Amino acid sequence: MRVLAVALVLELAASSIATELLLFGGRDHDVFLACLNCSRYDSGSVCNRYSENGSRYGDKSIWNRYGDFGSRYSEFSPWNRYASNPPVIVDRDGNFYGYFTANRFRDKRTKIKTLVILTDNVDWVIEDLARARDAFCGDS
């Protein structure tokens, strides 16, 4: 697991995209879930553990294993290998960066390496979402 955390941190650093990547979920992808690469101090950041978006308890958090967007069984969660409506990644200009999903058969699945590493290791991720968040955010 430590190896995965190191790989995530290295990939995140190597693939830093200049534009803010935003995650939207729900049936029509109209629910703002988080900014994927904003500062951990940003209230909308997936890395801000004290915000609704980065907390283990937030209704809109991908780190909440009991919520619609963090459950391994929800059609709206990136952690569901069979999700029919996984979150989408876009920038502020509306450019599409793919679906954030563990469903390897989903057309237009994101190719952002850090996110692919997370979703390809969904069994480890779903086991402890707080630890996965820390690995993704570089807190491990």
For residue range 59-90, what is the model confidence (pLDDT) as tens digits? 999 999 999 999 999 999 999 999 999 999 99
39's CB contacts (< 8 A; 6+ apart) are 45, 47
pLDDT at 18: 72
Check: CB of residue 32 under 8 Å from CB of residue 60: yes
Q: What is the pLDDT of residue 58?
A: 95
Read off the pTM.
0.87
pLDDT at 7: 55
pLDDT score recorded for residue 5: 55
Q: What is the mean pLDDT of the chain?
A: 89
d(CA 70, CA 61): 6
Residues of the chain with pLDDT under 50: 6, 10, 13-14
Q: CA–CA distance from 122 to each of 46, 48, 104, 128, 139 (Å)? A: 17, 21, 11, 10, 19
Is the distance from CB of 39 to CB of 45 less than 8 angstroms?
A: yes
